């Protein structure tokens, strides 16, 4: 059966190029590039080699070299990692700004410490209420203890009078 089924083969046959032809094309391309490089060196002869080497840009792939592409989603790596940050030689870390959560947590702890200090001194409303409640309870316990003591004495007298 012929290539392509019943209807026959459509398209051209494959053609292979000679190795000599490929070598000739490669040599011609290298010569062209060398000539262009010589012309550029003559034009930029006033520039030093250091300046040209400092302007090293990564080689652009595909259409990037032809069309200037500005992708707003593509952000260059400007932030440094924590391991790359250098700490000053005197051992003190530079003051970093706290996040909102960290700031709120610290303020909360400080407020709690202030409240506890005032509470222990008895200056807060809750502390006054607690002290008043405590005084009432002490008074009730003293009265209960006095009452028990009176009942015990009454029992002792009752047992002595029976004998």
In this structure, are residues 118 and 124 in contact, taking their beta carbons and an 8 Å threshold? Answer: yes
For the chain, give every domain's residue range.
103-163
- Residue 1 clears pLDDT 70, i.e. is over it: no
**Res 64: pLDDT:** 66
Q: What is the mean pLDDT of residues 121-135?
A: 90
- Residue 48 clears pLDDT 50, i.e. is over it: no
Burial 40-58 (b: 16+ CB within 10 A, else e): eeeeeeeeeeeeeeeeeee
**Res 52: pLDDT:** 47
Identify the three-state secondary structure at position 98. Answer: coil
In this structure, are residues 119 and 126 in contact, taking their beta carbons and an 8 Å threshold? Answer: yes
State the DSSP H helix or E strand holding residue 92, giving kind and residue range, or none if neither.
Answer: none
Q: What percent of the chain has pLDDT over 70?
A: 67
**Res 146: pLDDT:** 96
d(CA 111, CA 104): 10
**Res 17: pLDDT:** 82
Q: Among 119, 116, 141, which residue's Cα sits nearest to residue 130?
A: 119
**Res 83: pLDDT:** 72
Q: Reduced to 3 DSSP states, what percent helix, strand and coil does the chain have, rounded to the nearest 5?
A: 60, 0, 40
- Residue 141 clears pLDDT 80, i.e. is over it: yes
């Amino acid at each position: 059966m012929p290539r392509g089924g019943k209807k026959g083969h459509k398209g051209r046959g494959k053609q292979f190029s000679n190795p000599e032809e490929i070598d000739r094309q490669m040599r011609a391309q290298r010569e062209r590039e060398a000539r262009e490089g010589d012309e550029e060196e003559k034009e930029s002869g006033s520039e030093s080699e250091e300046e040209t080497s400092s302007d090293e840009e990564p080689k652009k792939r595909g259409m990037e070299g032809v069309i200037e592409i500005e992708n707003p989603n593509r952000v260059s790596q400007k932030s440094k990692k924590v391991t790359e940050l250098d700490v000053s030689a005197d051992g003190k870390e530079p003051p970093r700004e706290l996040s909102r959560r960290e700031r709120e947590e610290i303020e909360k702890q400080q407020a709690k410490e202030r409240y506890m200090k005032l509470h222990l001194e008895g200056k807060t409303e809750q502390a006054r209420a607690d002290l008043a409640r405590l005084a009432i309870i002490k008074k009730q316990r003293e009265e209960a203890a006095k009452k028990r003591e009176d009942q015990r004495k009454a029992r002792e007298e009752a047992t002595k009078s029976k004998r």
